Every structure is written in C-alpha cells, then in structure tokens.
Amino acid sequence: MRTPFVVGNWKLHKTIAESLALVTELKNQLAAVAAGKRVEVGVAPPFTALWPVARRLDDASVMVCGQDCFWEERGAWTGEIAPSMLVDVGCRWVIIGHSERRQHFGETDAGVGKKVKAALAAGLGAIACVGETDAERDAGSTTAVVDRHLEGALAHVTAADAARFVVAYEPVWAIGTGRTATPAQAQEVHAHIRKRLGEKLGAEAAAAIRIQYGGSVKANNAVALMGQADIDGALVGGASLEAADFIAIVRAARGNS
Ligand code: PGA
C-alpha cells in the first residue's frame, strides 16, 4: 500500500518572511490533519528560504524539498546547487526535470537522468517530472513523450530506489492554466507509467513507487483525482502558496489512504 505524498512547489515565490509565515501555518494545522494518517507532505521553497524553512520545520513532519539540483557535487559550475548541499540545509527530497526547466532552461532527458542519479547518491529522494504538451497530446504522442521522459529519469534508477523515487505526471497544458486533466485522463497515463516502471524495475518496485499528479490541482478537484487507483498524491503549484488551499489537498490525499 503506497503512502500518498503531497508536495507544494512554490516555484519563484516568497521571501524568507513570507516562507516562514506559510510554513508556520502549515506546521500548526497539518499536525492535526495528518496525525495518525498515512500521508507524507513536503514543501519546495526557493533556495534562498530553504535554511530558515528547514529550521522552522525541524520538529514537524513536513519535509523540505529542493526545486532542482545539479548532477555534480562540486567544481566550477557557477549558479548550481549540489545534491549534498540540499541535504546539508535539511532537504529530504528534490524535484527534478520540471517542465518549466525543460521548456525554459534547456533541461534534457539525459540531464534529468544524471540529476536523479546524483540526488539518490547524496541520500535525497527524487521526484522526477514527466508530461506532454498540448500539441503533443493533440498529435497522439502522449505516451511516447512520457516514455521518453521516463527513460531519461530512470536511466540510473534500480528497484532498490523505489522508496526514494517518485514520478510526477504533469501534463504541461494543465500547469498553471486551471485546466486540470480529468481523473480518467490522469489515471490512464498513471497506469501506463506504472506499467513502464514494472517493465524497467520489476513488479514489486512498480507497485511501491508513488506517482503524483500535477497540473492545476485545487481543493475542488483533488478528491476526484486522489481517488484514482494509480494516483498517489500531488505536486501542487499555485494552490500550495496559501495554507488553506494546500491543506485541503492534503486532506483529499489522506482520504485515499
Ligand atoms: P500548478 O503547478 O498547480 O500551478 O498547475 C503544478 C506544478 O507545476 O508543479
């Protein structure tokens, strides 16, 4: 039985003061929402807020996540952050290969694979994002694109990594658009992803790996999405910036456990 996992991806939002205000609210309210329930919760603030947020969450169950990391541990890589630096600051997980990084920052499938490998080697859990654009879906190539993204992400993953490897299915056309995939559309792709995971890593690992859905997840659609057999939580952008919205989504995921 997979424990649902909900992560808030704050993207390029929030100062340190704003970050602390939000996680303090989350910490206070989630203690009751998640108590004794099978649900894991994470937040991915901007790099500049990681340290104070991690300190504020020291005694809370909410996990701190990076929004990206590099595949090298040190060297002449101006602007990059090493996986072990995320561990150092208190992160447990890192998001890798988000579509915004693929679209705007030249992230490649091979690069995603190297980042996943480096993150796992440093002791982080890796949340690898996959998903097709509008044009790709219209062209009927959704599964081909997802397969290509998965192949890159899984290049160095083994069955032993199942507990620390998460796939986030995020159709690009649903991100920040208010246009969510229907629960049936999402489930269809999630089931396909699980099948591919099985082919690559074996049935036991495929049954254990969490597959999050992401793309305009809101309080009012989360229950239906989380009710799908292969949807094991959410990667939440816009709705993770307000405590009440995010907590409602955690509640929906928790209801699934
Ligand atoms: P959204 O973003 O919830 O604002 O659509 C999701 C994501 O990009 O992870």
Shortest-distance atom of ligand 1 to CA 11: 8
The verdict on whether 98 is a catalytic residue reads yes
Please report the pLDDT score of residue 127 as a whole number: 99
What homologous superfamily does CATH list for 5-255? Aldolase class I (3.20.20.70)
Instruction: Indicate the domain borders of the chain.
Output: 5-255
d(CA 186, CA 167): 13
Question: pTM for the complete prediction?
Answer: 0.97
Residue bearing the CA closest to ligand 1, atom 9: 237
d(CA 159, CA 237): 29
Please report the pLDDT score of residue 35 as a whole number: 78
Please report the pLDDT score of residue 227 as a whole number: 95
> Which two structure tokens, joined as six digits, stand for 123?
């002791």
Question: Mean pLDDT by 10-residue block, N- to C-terminus, for the chain (257 residues)?
Answer: 96 98 96 85 98 96 97 98 98 98 97 98 98 96 98 98 98 92 96 98 98 96 97 98 97 77
The verdict on whether 40 is a catalytic residue reads no
One of 40, 100, 107, 170 is an active-site residue; which one? 170
Please report the pLDDT score of residue 37 as a whole number: 80
Our mutation pick for probing the ligand 1 site, out of 43, 65, 236, counting the most ligand atoms within 8 A of Cβ, is 236
Please report the pLDDT score of residue 257 as a whole number: 45
List helix spans (H) across the chain. Answer: 16-34, 50-56, 83-89, 99-104, 109-121, 134-138, 142-153, 183-201, 203-208, 219-226, 243-254
Residue 88 neighbours by CB under 8 Å, 6+ apart: none
Shortest-distance atom of ligand 1 to CA 176: 5
Ligand 1 pocket, residues with Cβ under 6 angstroms: 9, 170, 175-176, 214-217, 235-239
The residue written with tokens 């490998």 in the block is: 117
